[in-house]
Structure 1
Amino acid sequence: MPQMAPMLWFYLYFFFLFTFIIFVSLNYFFKPFEKINFKISFSHITPQFFWKL
């Protein structure tokens, strides 16, 4: 039925908006992991230099 095609796009549009809002809100509230500061936590260990390729 061709008359149902606008309803399909309508539902897809709202599905996209809903998932986009969920994605943005989760990224806003969940912070990324903090990096470990090796200078403070491992100050008693001598630094090892990484090999250059």
Structure 2
Amino acid sequence: MPQMAPINWLSLFIVFSMTLLLFNVMNYYSYTPKSTNIKEINKISSLSLNWKW
């Protein structure tokens, strides 16, 4: 819409940018990883990771 003033485009850009940023931050901090115990870590690290080509 060419009749819109540039300040409106700037305010829309700021609003949408802040919404995107808020959405990403909320998704990032709402993720809670499962706590792993020491046995699982030792089991994973002791596995042989040799590729068989």
Aligned residues: 46
What is the match of residue 30 of structure 1?
31
The aligned runs of 1:1-53 (5 Å cut-off) are 4-32=5-33, 37-40=40-43, 47-48=47-48, 50=50
Q: Structure 2: 5+ residue runs without aligned partners?
A: none
> Identity rate of aligned residues, in percent?
11
Task: Specify the SS of the correspondent of 1:15.
Answer: helix
Distance 1:47 1:38 in 2: 10
Deviations for 1:1-53, whole angstroms, at most 9, x for unmatched residues?
Answer: 57611100100000000110110011010134667x2525x7xxx753658xx
TM-score between the two structures when normalised by the length of structure 2: 0.56
